[in-house]
Each structure stands twice: as structure tokens, then as C-alpha cells.
Structure 1
Amino acid sequence: MRPYRPEDIHAYAKWLTQECQAAGLNAEQYGAEIFIHGASNHLSERIICKPDAQDRLRWHWSWGVPIGRLNDSSRLLAVDDIEELISSISKVVCVPVRRGM
């Protein structure tokens, strides 16, 4: 595979940031990283775009694991699987806050 240029990675990050914002998420881009703040301000996530062990460009959670499909996390998402990426990210940062416990 060809080496990924920083400009390519930043372009993917910009695209995902804009799509997250369009979906109602509070997202900010910092280079290849995207910070997403949950609605309750208790949940946030840092997503980073980088090559995986097979040198395929992927989105990774802050704990270093590539982001997989919601119904099968062993099937990794490609950098351009935007709709599924937003769904996965939303599941992490948009967990409803429990009240009255």
C-alpha cells in the first residue's frame, strides 16, 4: 500500500468532523484527531485516523482499537464508512443519563 500523506488523513478527519456536526454531534478537529463531546458533557471521545496493523487507514477509538461495525465489531469500518462511523460514535457519546436512581 502507498504511504498515507498527512494531508490525506487531515482531509478524512475534516470530512468526518463535518458529518458528525451535521448529525448533531459536538465535534472538533485537531489535525488527524477528532474530539466529540457528548450532550451531557460527561461523555466524550477522541477519534484518530491512522493506519492499522495491515497498513489500512482506519478510525481508532481513544483506547487504540479500530472502530468496527455496531452489529459485528470484528468487521472494521473503512475511513469512508461515514454513516456507520457516526452511528458507532453516537452509541459511545450519546448514552442517555439515568435519572432518579
Structure 2
Amino acid sequence: MVGLLKKTSEIILHLFSSTKQRTVPKMYEKPDIHGEVFNVEDHWLLLNNQLYVDIRECIIIDEKNDVLAASKIVEGDFVNVWIEETDVIRTVPSLATAKMVQRRGAILE
């Protein structure tokens, strides 16, 4: 498990080594937001029908912390989201920019 976390950390640090400096969430930090994906649009996720999350520049991982393409997140998935800002923009629906999204799985039918 430690080896997997180290490998994931190295991947995340490599992805964030571009010219734009950002803080990378630690895997042990609690997510800022979690919920069900109600809609997937171009580079946005609609969570719980209340919050749009911009995922253009974030890292997307699965339950095993493997990197995913944005197209792998579908309606019905549950996700953890670490956001870029300290506050969510309070509109209806609200807006936020993701640093990292972790897919937790789909609804069991």
C-alpha cells in the first residue's frame, strides 16, 4: 500500500510540475466536497444537482488511486472533490474548480 501511495504521489507531482504552481491535496486530507454526479458536460460535473465543478485542469483518479480520463466519470458515479478555491461561488447552482477528483463508484442498482 505504501508503494502504491508513493507511486501515486510521484504521478501527481509530475502532473503538477508545469509552470502553473498549485498545491496538491494529500491523499489523507478529507475532500472538500463529495456527492453523486448528476450530469457530465464538456469539462464540468454537476454534483447533487447543486454544484458545478470545473474539471479542466484537475487530476482524476479512481478508487485505487489510478489516474483516469475525464470521460471515465459518468452520471451516477459518486466522487470526492478537492477544490482549488477556499470558497465555493454561491450561485444557483454553485461553482467550484477542482484540484483533484476521486471516483468512488457507481450507484448499485
Q: What TM-score bracket applies, with the shorter chain setting the length? A: 0.3 to 0.5
**Higher RCO (CA 8 Å, separation ≥ 6 residues):** 2
Q: TM-score when scaled to structure 2?
A: 0.33
- Choose between structure 1 and 2: higher strand proportion: 2
- TM-score normalized with structure 1 length: 0.35
